[in-house]
Amino acid sequence: MIPATPVSRRPRPFYRQIYVQVLAAIVAGGLIGHFAPETGVALKPLGDGFIKLVKMVIAPVIFLTIVTGIAGMRDVASVGRVAGKALVYFFIMSTLALVVGLVVGNVVQPGAGLNIDPASLQIGAVSEYVAKAHDATLIGFLTGIIPDTIVGAFADGNLLQVLFFAISFGIALATIGAPARPLLDVLGSASAGMFKLVDIFMRAAPIGAFGAFAFTIGRYGIGTLANLAALVATFYLTALIFVLGILGLVARAAGFSIFRLIGYLKAELLLVLGTSSSESALPSLIEKMEAAGCPRPIVGLVVPTGYSFNLDGTNIYMTLAALFIAQATDIHLSLGEQLLLLGVAMLSSKGAAGVTGAGFITLAATLSIVPSVPVAGMALILGVDRFMSECRSLTNFIGNAVATVVVSRWEGGIDEKRFAATLGRQRSVRS
């Protein structure tokens, strides 16, 4: 039998690359939002519809990835080891992010000189976020990980509840052994079908990014950035320092380049930028991390867990924004008060999902506990929070991608040849 001659695939034209389409959509959406703001606001359903499409498949993708990965592992005890390593890594990086926010906020002092009287601030504009913050307690968060019903976890789209059930079910199937093989075959086929569905949905990513970015610019306007340009610029610079500096050093210590990883995930990063939500690219992150050679069980554990416990961008934002409010209202925070702020922020940031507005809610939760900084001061940054939300989401996304590779290398389970070849190509798995 004559072996089949491999067919060489011609590279796609640049205009058919998903990241090029998303970038063009962001530019077009920004122009419409700026020059025709009413039209931009009216395009909001395009972004909302795309995010709903992606959120619809997140729970089943996580469930199938984790169950098939864990059930196929010979050493079930390694599940706890991987989870433990991931949580240790998350704690270290979250602490570093909070510290970086504090240091930069004290050095740059973006709120200094505004001299705003705290009594003149109206809390009405942020009362909704404060109410949500009061509803979110640490005990409630921990008990909320266990779903009331299995169906309820999927219906509500609660990532941690789905993660809890998937890990438990995967371990149960792994202990059964051979009798579970027929079910695993079915779940494996379902997983392949679900990722194909993700690929189909991602074709609409440019439309979603177009609508979401047109709404952001049309609703909030570029002009709102001028009043608080120092805060926004400081936050973006701080996030850049954290990603290229701290995460870059972590990546280098783990044997890979942060720039190559960013290049590999450029389509997903542009999608996050356009939608202001890291959750919109979660299924694609799982898919591309597996394609890069990271083991499925590790990807399934680290990525969804990181979306609640490894929020580097949100942590930077909370300490930096809190210091900005204190400086703007002429409130001096001692070292002890700043350390208290850091500790409270560490606790309140856990469980914040990667969706638009979550960072503002966790900031409200932090300031509600720290009496030195007025909660009403959040009204000062409400107008530009949407623009900082994009940077929070980008930083969170990159942080979770780095964490996946680091834990995979830590476990010694990464396919080194495929990883080197994939990041060397820097091509999307959909291209």
- Look at 74-78, 151-155, 337-341, 390-394 and tell me which has the smallest mean pLDDT: 74-78
Residue 385: which domain range? 16-425
Q: What pLDDT does 71 receive?
A: 78
Structurally, the chain folds into a number of domains equal to 1
Q: What pLDDT does 243 receive?
A: 94
What average pLDDT does the chain have? 79
Tell me the pLDDT tens digit for each residue of 239-249. 999 999 999 99
C-alpha span between 386 and 357 (Å, rounded): 8
Which tokens hold the place of 231? 């805060």
DSSP helix/strand/coil, 132: helix
Task: Please check the confidence at residue 427 and state whether its pLDDT lies above 70.
Answer: no
Candidate ranges 296-300, 330-334, 427-431; pick with highest mean pLDDT? 296-300
Task: Please check the confidence at residue 196 and state whether its pLDDT lies above 60.
Answer: yes
- Give Cβ neighbours of residue 393 (< 8 Å, ≥ 6 apart): 272, 273, 276, 277, 278, 313, 354, 356
In a domain, 78, yes or no: yes
Q: What pLDDT does 2 receive?
A: 42
Q: What pLDDT does 259 receive?
A: 93
Question: Does 28 or 427 have the greater pLDDT score?
Answer: 28
C-alpha span between 220 and 212 (Å, rounded): 12
Task: Please check the confidence at residue 5 and state whether its pLDDT lies above 50.
Answer: no
Tell me the pLDDT tens digit for each residue of 79-96. 778 888 888 999 899 889
Task: Please check the confidence at residue 409 and state whether its pLDDT lies above 80.
Answer: yes
Tell me the pLDDT tens digit for each residue of 346-404. 766 654 544 445 666 677 767 766 667 777 777 777 767 777 888 888 998 999 999 99
Task: Please check the confidence at residue 300 and state whether its pLDDT lies above 60.
Answer: yes
The pLDDT of 251-255, averaged and rounded, is 91
CA 293 to chain centre: 21
C-alpha span between 415 and 117 (Å, rounded): 58
In a domain, 299, yes or no: yes
The answer to whether the beta carbons of residues 399 and 248 sit under 8 Å apart is no
Supply the CATH number for residue 356's domain: 1.10.3860.10
Q: What pLDDT does 139 receive?
A: 63
Which tokens hold the place of 126? 């942020």
Tell me the pLDDT tens digit for each residue of 351-364. 454 444 566 667 77
Q: What pLDDT does 367 receive?
A: 73
Whole-model pTM: value is 0.78
Q: What pLDDT does 261 receive?
A: 93
In a domain, 77, yes or no: yes
Which among 430, 361, 422 is positioned nearest to 196, based on CA atoms?
430
* Entry field: residues in the chain: 431
Task: Give the whole-number percent of the chain exceeding pLDDT 90.
Answer: 11
In a domain, 90, yes or no: yes
The pLDDT of 119-133, averaged and rounded, is 53
Q: What pLDDT does 242 receive?
A: 94
The answer to whether the beta carbons of residues 286 and 338 sit under 8 Å apart is no
- Left (φ > 0), alpha (ψ -120 to 50) or beta: where does 42 sit? alpha
Task: Please check the confidence at residue 77 and state whether its pLDDT lies above 80.
Answer: no
In a domain, 431, yes or no: no
**b/e sequence 338-372, b meaning 16+ C-beta within 10 Å:** bebbbebbbebbbbbbbbbbbbbbbbbbbbeebee
- Left (φ > 0), alpha (ψ -120 to 50) or beta: where does 8 sit? beta
In a domain, 110, yes or no: yes
C-alpha span between 352 and 3 (Å, rounded): 53
Task: Give the whole-number percent of the chain exceeding pLDDT 70.
Answer: 79
In a domain, 229, yes or no: yes
In a domain, 338, yes or no: yes
